[in-house]
Chains A and B, each alone.
Chain A
Amino acid sequence: MKDPARLSDGACGSTGVALLAAVRGISAPEGACDRALGNLRLGAGGLATAALVTTQNVRAAASHSALPTASAGAASKAGVASGLLWKAAVTSVLLGAASLTLGRGGTETALSPARSAPRAVLPSRDATSVPAVVPLAPPAPSTPAAPVRSRAAEPKVDSRPPRATAPFAHASELSLSAQLALLDEARRAAPQRALALLVTYRDQYPQGALSYEASLLRVDTLERLGRHAEALPLARMLLRTYPNGTASPRLKQLVAQ
């Protein structure tokens, strides 16, 4: 079938053409593509490790949250597990959202993620459980600096305990979804509130599975506030504790500045 002429060829008059032209070819915000590439390079394994992840992976990763973090070795393990968990959770949500199904028959092609899908994974889209939009990575940091701000000086904010939702059978999953929701809220919040939420996270989950991500977010938030002196030692601590962490390259860059 021959395609019809497009409206922008003049079939809809100057106003229609202007409307369509206004949005054609616009680009994503500066750096967005680079950030996407950076987030795809998660972990030491890079792109190849970000394969299909299931609820089972999330459960397995969540079980690592109890790993002792006292020694450097254990801390490193926890960091890796934490990174895996983060990736697993992100991908799981994605799978739930994207609902890929192949070979559904009928008129659908093998490429059709459109209708289909194993809706399994982390089904709740409730704002208090796993967020529909999971933070893929905190904003890129700019510059470093000095001493960590005391907790007492930070604003305390009531944290809303995430509501348990049906699909999560295990306590570890409940905890994981709550942690994800809390960090996602922090990522979206204004910097001051984000810091308060991160204090809440630290208080509620002192050895949480997402401690590494929470600390990263704190570094980025401090940078956003221009509090380089506080972000720098935290970044150094993260590098020492999690030398193979997913964000080590950019943390090194930050510390080197």
Chain B
Amino acid sequence: MAVQAPSTIDDAGVERLVVLHFDFIWRFLLRLGVGEADAEDLAQQVFLVLNAHRDAATSGTVRAYLVGVARRIASTYRRSQRRRRDVVADDTPDQTDVSPSPEELADRGRAAVVLDRILETRMTEAEREVFVLFEIEELSMSEIAGALAIPSGTVASRLRRARTQFQAALSAWRLEPREVAS
């Protein structure tokens, strides 16, 4: 459930928001391609920005605000680092590799690597953001629209394309049907 920001955020409020949302922001950064070694630092940066701009975070939902800051920081990070996640380079199976079995995917680490591979190679940055926020973090479409500053229709179309890509990746492994859920 989204936390509605109070009219002003005091120190205790900022701390409460860190406790409430730190894991969420950390996960979001990871799924946007931030390396695990850097995700904690960048998550801290997100909350430092929140702290420095308390007034800016008092309309709408704080979670949407944090998402907006996090995606910007992640984008800057990726450009500046000019590198992809280690797992993509080292551990991720090529698409022609033997498909992972459901049993293998029961291993969270392995599943995360496979999922990140799909996010990295199959989706645009914009599609990836929407997919992660809707399918993994379970934000509502309207909240995503607010966080990304795009119309709801755009959220829906990006989500459709992202789902198509996700299903296509699964189909490439001949494990799943090609139909895209609507």
Quote the shortest CB–CB distance from A115 to chain B (angstroms). Answer: 6
Let me know if B3 is at the binding interface, CB within 8 A.
no
CB–CB B68/A16 < 8 A: no
Nearest to A9 among chain B residues (CB) is: B181
CB–CB B47/A40 < 8 A: yes
Let me know if B123 is at the binding interface, CB within 8 A.
no
Q: Known contacts A40-B51, A132-B80: does B149 contact A107 (CB below 8 Å)?
A: yes
Residues of chain B lying within 8 A (CB to CB) of residue A23: 27, 30-31, 108, 111-112, 115, 136
CB–CB B15/A98 < 8 A: no
The one of A1, A27, A96, A98 that contacts B156, using a Cβ cutoff of 8 Å = A1
CA–CA, A39 and B105, complex, Å: 36
CB–CB B102/A14 < 8 A: yes
CB–CB B48/A91 < 8 A: yes
Residues of chain A lying within 8 A (CB to CB) of residue B112: 22-23
Interface membership of chain A positions 112-124, coded 1 if the CB is closer than 8 angstroms to chain B and 0 otherwise: 1111010000000
Residues of chain A lying within 8 A (CB to CB) of residue B81: 132
CA–CA, A117 and B71, complex, Å: 13
Residues of chain A lying within 8 A (CB to CB) of residue B49: 94-95, 98, 100, 113
The one of B45, B115, B175 that contacts A20, using a Cβ cutoff of 8 Å = B115
Nearest to B35 among chain A residues (CB) is: A133
CB–CB A94/B45 < 8 A: yes
Where chain A touches its partner, the secondary structure class is loop
Q: Known contacts A13-B177, A28-B40, A37-B18: does B77 contact A133 (CB below 8 Å)?
A: yes
CA–CA, A13 and B18, complex, Å: 35
CB–CB B115/A36 < 8 A: no
CB–CB A47/B15 < 8 A: yes
The one of A21, A29, A36, A112 that contacts B44, using a Cβ cutoff of 8 Å = A36
CB–CB B69/A113 < 8 A: yes
Nearest to B77 among chain A residues (CB) is: A132
CB–CB A51/B14 < 8 A: no
Residues of chain A lying within 8 A (CB to CB) of residue B102: 14-15, 18
Q: Which of A73-91 contact B (CB under 8 A)?
A: 90-91
Q: Known contacts A8-B135, A111-B68: does B15 contact A37 (CB below 8 Å)?
A: yes
CA–CA, A50 and B47, complex, Å: 11
Nearest to B51 among chain A residues (CB) is: A50
Quote the shortest CB–CB distance from B171 to chain A (angstroms). Answer: 10
A-B contacts, 7 of them at CB < 8 A, read A22-B111, A35-B40, A98-B72, A99-B76, A111-B64, A113-B49, A133-B41
Residues of chain B whose beta carbon lies under 8 Å from any beta carbon of chain A: 11, 14-15, 18-19, 22-23, 26-27, 30-31, 38-49, 51-53, 56-57, 59-61, 64-65, 68-69, 71-73, 76-77, 79-81, 100, 102, 105-106, 108, 111-112, 114-115, 118, 134-138, 140-142, 146-152, 156, 159, 163, 166-167, 170, 173, 175-177, 181-182
8 cross-chain pairs, A with B, having the tightest CB-CB distances, nearest first: A11-B181, A22-B111, A112-B149, A125-B80, A28-B26, A132-B80, A113-B68, A108-B149
Additional A-B contact list (17), CB under 8 Å, known A133-B41, A136-B45? A4-B182, A12-B176, A19-B115, A22-B115, A28-B27, A40-B14, A40-B18, A40-B48, A47-B51, A50-B48, A91-B48, A95-B52, A97-B73, A97-B77, A99-B72, A109-B146, A111-B56
